Amino acid sequence: MRVVFPEGFYFGSATSATQCEGGTEGDERGKNIWDLWYEEESFKFHGNIGPEITSSFYENYREDVRLMKETGHNSFRTSISWSRLFPQGRGEMNQKAADFYRSLFQELRDQGIEPFVNLYHFDMPVAMQELGGWESRRVVDYYKEYARTCFELFGDLVSHWFTFNEPIVHVECGYLSGYHYPCKVDPKAAVLVAYHTALASALAVREYHSLNQGGKIGIVLNLTPAYPRSSHPEDEKAARIAELFQNKSFLDPAVKGTYDPELVEMIREQGLLPQAETEDLEIIRQNLVDFLGVNYYHPFRVCAKAHVPNPMAPFTPEYYFDIYDMPGKRMNPYRGWEIYPRGLYDIAINLRDNYGNIEWMVTENGMGVENEGRFKEDGIIQDDYRIEFYKEHLTWLHKGIQEGSRCVGYHVWTFIDCWSWLNAYKNRYGLVELDLETQKRTIKKSGYWYGELLKHNGFE
C-alpha cells in the first residue's frame, strides 16, 4: 500500500527557542524562568545540564537550515524567545535578537522552507514572572505588545504564527504538579493562569488580524484523546470530564470563543472560578484562531474513581476520574508514554465533526529514546524504531485526511536532538544526532528517510 499526501502538504519539524538556541557571550538576551530555575535548583535537571548551550542553534542556524533541507523539510516551526527580544519583557528591544530572527527567517525562506513561528513556549521572562507571570493581568497586556512587535518586525517573512505552545502544560506543571517554574500547588492560581493565557492568545490574534498582513495565526494544543476503560456509564463520564479539562479547556475558547458550560460549572462548584471582565470575555469570543496546531504523543486512558476524593486536598482534575493503566498497552519505556497511532485519526475526526472542520496540522509527533548511541553503526544511528513510529502515525493521519479532515501538515519533534526541560538530554528525539561535547551534527537513518518522504510526498 502506498500512502500519498495532498499536494502542498507541509513536512517538517518543530523546536523551541529555549530548547535549541543556547546563548553566546554578548548576545544581550534576558533571563527566562528556565535560566532562573537552573540557577536555583540545577540538581533537578537531568545530568545537571541547563539551557545555556542546548543545541547551539543561535550560532549554527545556517548549517542547521542546510541540514533541514537535506532531511526533507519544506517547513519548520520554532519560537521567538520573548526574553531574548525584550530582556525585560517590555521596553527596550534587543536589536541583536531582532537581527538574528530576521536572518533565520530569511535563511529558511531562501532554502524554500516555510517558517511557522510560535510566540510563547513555556519561557516567561524573569522580569515578567516577578510581576506575577500569567497570574497577572498586566503581563497579559505586555504579552500583547510583544506579539504585535513580532508581527511588525517579521510579518513580511512569516505568514504562519502561533500564539502559544501547549498552554495546558504551564497551567498543570507550573501550578498543580511542580514540574515547571514557579512550582506552585495552587488550583485557584492554575485556573486564573489558564484564563489569562486564553485571553492573551485572543489578544494576539486580534493584534495580528488588525495588521492585515495576509497570513494566518493559530494556537498549538497538545490534544490527548481521553478513552474510557469500558462502556460503563461511569467510565464514559470520566472520559468526558477528562476531555473537558485536558482538551476542551483551551480548544473551545480558541476555536469557538466559548467555554463548555459543564466545565465552567465544575470550576464554579470547586470555588475556583476567576473574576472575568465582560470585555475580556468578549475579546475571547470574537478573536478566533485561523488554524490549529496539534501536538500528539500519547492517549489519555481514564476510569471512574475507585475511592471518594478527599475534599480537603488541593483540587486537581483527577478529583473526577482515575488514570487507567490499561493491560498490554504498547509503551515507549524511555518516556513512559503509550504508543497509540490511531489517536491521530481520532483527533482528525473530532476536529472535523465538532470544531467546524477547522484547518489544522500536526505540529509535534515524535519518539524519545535514551542512550541512542548503542544503535550506531558505521557512524549513523540506525533508528528504525523512529521510522516505524512515524509511518504508523502518518498512516492513521492519512486515513483521517481521506475522510475529510482538513490537516495540511505534519511536523516531527524534532529536527536535532534538543534540550528538554527537566529531562535535559536524557531522551533523544532528533532526525539529526547532536554530539554534546563537540556540537557536531550527524543525520540519523530517520533523517534520510524523512528526506525521501518529502521527495515522494508519501511512502510505501
Instruction: Please report the sign of the dihedral spanned by the C-alpha atoms of residue 149, residue 292, residue 256, residue 264.
Output: negative
What does the alpha-carbon distance between residue 9 and residue 398 come to, in Å, rounded to a whole number? 11
Collect all residues with Cβ–Cβ distance below 8 Å to 438 and sequence separation of at least 6. Answer: none
Average pLDDT over residues 385-398: 98
> What are the angstrom distances between the C-alpha of 402 and each of 44, 98, 395, 397, 458?
45, 41, 11, 9, 14
Average pLDDT over residues 442-452: 98
Average pLDDT over residues 188-217: 98
Average pLDDT over residues 418-424: 95
% pLDDT > 90, the chain: 97
- State the residue for C-alpha cell 536572518: 103
pLDDT at 348 over 80: yes
pLDDT at 23 over 80: no
pLDDT at 323 over 70: yes
Structural contact between residues 67 and 448, judged by C-beta atoms closer than 8 angstroms: no
Give 343-385 as a DSSP string. HHHHHHHHHHHHSTT--EEEEE----EE-GGGGEETTEE--HH
- Residues 41-78 have pLDDT tens digits of 999 999 999 998 899 999 999 999 999 999 999 999 99
Model confidence, pTM: 0.97
Average pLDDT over residues 228-242: 98
Maximum distance among all Cα pairs of the chain, rounded to whole angstroms: 63
Cell of 341: 497511532
pLDDT at 84 over 70: yes
Length, in residues, of the chain: 460
Structural contact between residues 253 and 202, judged by C-beta atoms closer than 8 angstroms: yes
- CATH fold, domain 3-459, is TIM Barrel (3.20.20)
pLDDT at 335 over 90: no
- CA 25 and chain centroid, separation: 28
Structural contact between residues 314 and 271, judged by C-beta atoms closer than 8 angstroms: no
DSSP structure class, residue 424 = T
Arithmetic mean of pLDDT over the chain: 97
Could you list the active site residues? 166, 364
Buried b (16+ CB within 10 A) or exposed e, 283-302: bbeebbbbbbbbbbbbbbbb
Structural contact between residues 86 and 48, judged by C-beta atoms closer than 8 angstroms: no
Query: For residue 254, which of 294, 204, 218, 209 has the smallest C-alpha distance?
Result: 218
What does the alpha-carbon distance between residue 125 and residue 138 come to, in Å, rounded to a whole number? 14
What is residue 330's predicted lDDT score, i.e. its pLDDT? 97
Structural contact between residues 286 and 257, judged by C-beta atoms closer than 8 angstroms: yes
What is residue 25's predicted lDDT score, i.e. its pLDDT? 67
Say whether 11 sits in a helix, a strand or coil: strand
Instruction: Please report the sign of the dihedral spanned by the C-alpha atoms of residue 301, residue 184, residue 140, residue 77.
Output: negative
How many CB atoms neighbour CB 425 within 10 A? Answer: 18
Cell of 286: 470574537
**CA distance between the termini of the chain:** 6
* E strands present in 81-181: 114-118, 160-165
Task: Please report, for the chain, the start and end positions of each structural domain, with discontinuous segments joined by +.
Answer: 3-459
% pLDDT > 70, the chain: 99
What is residue 26's predicted lDDT score, i.e. its pLDDT? 73
Average pLDDT over residues 203-213: 98
- Residues 160-186 have pLDDT tens digits of 999 999 999 999 999 999 999 999 999
Average pLDDT over residues 293-307: 97
